[in-house]
Structure 1
Amino acid sequence: MDELSNMCLKHNMPRYQINAFSNFLCDTVFDGKDVLEVGGSALPRELTLNFLNAKSWTCVDILDEGSYQKDKYNDHYKNEFVYKLSEAHPSHIENDYTIYDGNIENASKLEFRKFDIIVSITSFEHILAMPQALIQMKALLKEGGVILTHHGPVWSCFCGHHAWISQTLNFNSEGIIPDFAHLLYRPPEFYRIMESRIGSELAGQLMLQVYNEPRVNRYFYEDYISFFENSGFTKVEYSPYFEREVSAELLTRLMELHPGYQNFSAYGMYAKLTK
C-alpha cells in the first residue's frame, strides 16, 4: 500500500485513485494481463506497465480540448499519442500502451484485442448510454474477465450533481450548494436559492449544468445495481463507499420525492462484474 501511495503521489494522482487501486488489488492481479481502462487516460506507464506489470494498457476516454485531465496532466499527453477511437486498427495490438479518444459504447473496433480486466475510476457516473456501454465492455472481455469500477459521486448522494463551474464553485465546495439541492428542488427553486448566494450569472450557469447538461448520467445508486444485474454477467458484486448518514426526516423527504429509491447515503459504488 505504501509503495502504491508513493507511486501515485509521485505522479500527482488524487487520493481517490489510490483508494480505487487499493480496492482493485484486493480483487485481482494485473501482472501479465491485458487491461482496458474506461475514462481516466492519465495513468502513467510507470504505474500501469512497471508497478502493476500489466502486459498491455489501453484506455478509452473522452478528451476534448481544454478538458480537466488534459490541462492537469499536460506533460503526460504531450508524451503519449492519442488516437481517435474510429482509428483503432488491428496493428495497434503490438502497442503496450494506447489511448483512444471516444465513448466506450462505440468501441467495437477494439474487438481485435480481448481484455482480461476492464478498470474504471470515477467515470461510470459520466456514462450516459449505460446499457450499450456494458454490452460493449462485455464483448471486449475474455471469458472469465472482470470489470472493476470505483465511481462517484452518484446522482443520489448529497453532491451527486457533480457540478464544476470553477475551482471555488463545484461539488466539493462546502457551504455554497446545499446538500441534496439537485434532488430537493426544481430548477426555478434551485436558481432562486443560488442567485441569493452567488448572483444571477453564476446561478444560471450552475442551474443549467446541474439539470440539463450531459456531464453526468443522473442515475441513482439503485439504477447501477439494476443495470449491472441485467447485463448478462455471470457474477455481479457491489458495495457502497463513503457513506454519509442522512437524517430520518431528510430521508423520508427524499424517498417521497423519488419513489422507488432508498439509498441516499452512498457517495459512490465499488463493483466487480465477472463475464
Structure 2
Amino acid sequence: MTTTSPTGEDTIAAPGLAMSEAEVFADFLSRVNLSGAVVAEIGGAFPIDLLHRQGVAKWYSIDPHRAAETSQDGIREVITARAEEMPLADASVDAVFSCNAFQFLDVAATLVQAHRVLRPGGLLYAHFGPIWSAVDGHQLEYVRYQDRDLTFWDDTLLPPWAHLAYDREELRALLRSGLTEELADLLVAHVHDDDTINRSFFEDYVAAALASGLEWVQLSATDQLDYQIAPPEYDAGLLRTVDPAQLAREVSHRRGVSTQLGVRDVLMVLRKACTAK
C-alpha cells in the first residue's frame, strides 16, 4: 500500500508503523524540543512526571471526556472541551500532539483549530487508528454489555469489514445467528448509529490535511493488523466472503471518489509556516 504526497513523493511507512503510546511519544520527542515548550494534547493526559522530565513549560490536555483539573505546579491543565472548539489563544502553542484520538473527532475542524493555536513553525503530530477504511474500522469501543466494556481487540464479535459489507438488517440477522438478540442489537446500533467515531476514510484525512493551511511534513499509513479477528460461528448462509478490492470499488462508487481500503494506522505530521503566505 502506498500513498503519495502533494510533491509526488511516496509517504507510506514500513509495516511496523503501529506503535505503543510510549513509542509514539518518543517519536514526537525526536521531532520537537519540549524544553520550555507549550503543548496542546488532543485526547488524553500524559503523566505529569513525564512532562517534568522533558522540561515542558505548559501542557494543555484537551479532552471532553476528562474532568477539568490543573496539576499543583500548574504545568498540566486538563480542559474539558472538544478539539474542534479548542479554547486556547491564537499562536499560543509550540506543538499539538495526539495519540489515538483523531478517529473520534471532526478532523477538518480540528486542523483549523490547530492551525490557529500553533505558533509559526509549530508542529502538529497525530498518530491514530483504526479508521473507517480498516478491516476493523467499526472501532468496537464504548459498548457495555453485562457490566463489562467491550474492546475490539479482545471481543472480536464482528466479522471482517462488518461496517462496510453489510447493511443494518443484514448485519442484525447475521449477528443474531450467533449472539443474543440484545448483544447483536447493541453492536448493530454501534456500527450504524454511534457518534463516537467519525466514519472518515483515509482519503478524508488526506483532504483535511491538504485544506488545513498547514504544511505537509509526513503522512504515513499501514494496513498491519496486530491481533487476530476470530468472530463466533455465524450462519454460513448469512456470512459473506469479502473481497477487499471489490468492496473498495463499491465504496468508491457510493462515495463518488476513489477510496482505498485496508488503511489501519496513520501518522500525520504537519507544520505551520514560519511566515504568513
Instruction: Report the TM-score range of the alignment, normalised by the length of the smaller protein.
Output: 0.7 to 0.9
Q: Is the 8 A contact 2:127 2:268 kept in 1?
A: yes
TM-score, normalised by the number of residues in structure 1? 0.76
Q: Which residue of 1 aligns with 2:112?
A: 135
**2:69 match:** 81
Q: Render the CA deviation track for 1:208-227: whole Å, top value 9, x for unaligned.
A: 11111111000011110111
Aligned partner of 1:119 among 85, 90, 97: 97
- Residue 85 of structure 2 is matched in structure 1 by 106
Aligned to 1:209: 190
Q: Does structure 2 conserve the Cα–Cα contact (< 8 Å) formed by 1:33 and 1:55?
A: yes
CA separation of 1:132/1:175 partners in 2, compared to 1, >3 Å: closer, same or farther? closer
Quick check: 1:265 aligned with 2:262? yes
Matched residues in 1 for 2:28 and 2:113: separation? 21
Identity %: 24
Task: Write the deviation string for residues 21-47 of structure 1: whole angstroms up to 9, x where unpaired.
Answer: 132123222222111101112x11011
Deviations 1:110-146 (A, max 9, x none): 2077000100011110003x22221111111000001
Structure showing greater relative contact order (alpha-carbon pairs closer than 8 Å, 6 or more residues apart): 2
CA distance in 1, matches of 2:61, 2:166: 37
- Distance in 1 (CA, whole Å) between partners of 2:42 and 2:269 is 14
| Unmatched 5+ stretches in structure 1 | 1-14, 65-76, 84-93
Name the one with the larger helix percent: 1
Q: What's the secondary structure of 2:133's corresponding residue?
A: coil
Deviates most, 201-210 or 23-32: 23-32
**Secondary structure class of the residue paired with 2:208:** helix
- 2:12 is the counterpart of 1:46: no
Give ranges in structure 2 of 5+ residues lacking alignment: 1-18, 227-241, 273-277
| Distance change in 2, residues 1:22/1:261 (3 Å) | farther
* 8 Å CA contact 2:127, 2:266 repeated in 1: yes
User: 2:136 matched to 1:185?
Assistant: no
Distance 1:235 1:241 in 2: 18
CA deviation map 1:189-217 (0-9, x unaligned):
11111111221111111111111111100
Name the structure 2 match of 1:29. 33
In structure 2, how many angstroms separate the alpha carbons of the residues matched to 1:169 and 1:132?
Answer: 29
Matches within 5 A, 1:7-18: 16-18=20-22
State which drifts further: 24-33 or 178-187: 24-33
CA contact (8 A) 1:154 1:160 kept: yes
Residues 104 and 136 in structure 1, CA contact (< 8 A), matched pair in contact too: yes
Alignment TM-score, normalising by the size of structure 2: 0.76
Cα separation, 1, equivalents of 2:103 and 2:221:
14
Query: Does the CA contact (< 8 Å) of 1:220 and 1:261 recur in 2?
Result: no
Q: Does the 8 A contact of 1:241 with 1:270 survive in 2?
A: no
Query: Matched residue of 2:154: which SS?
Result: coil
2:160 counterpart SS class: coil
Matched, 1:148 2:128: no
Asked if the contact 2:60–2:78 (Cα under 8 Å) also holds between the matched residues in 1, the reply is yes
Tell me, in whole angstroms, the C-alpha distance in 1 between the residues paired with 2:22 and 2:223: 14
Once residues 70 and 178 of structure 2 are traced to their aligned partners in structure 1, the CA distance between those partners, rounded to angstroms, is 41
Question: SS of 2:89's equivalent?
Answer: helix
Residue 258 of structure 1: SS of its match in structure 2? helix
Change (3 A) 1:261 1:29: farther
- The one-letter code matched in structure 2 to 1:35 is V
Distance change >3 Å, CA 168–CA 135, structure 1 → 2 = closer
Look up the equivalent residue of 1:101 and give its one-letter code: T
State the SS of the aligned residue for 2:186: helix
1:20 maps to a residue whose letter is: V
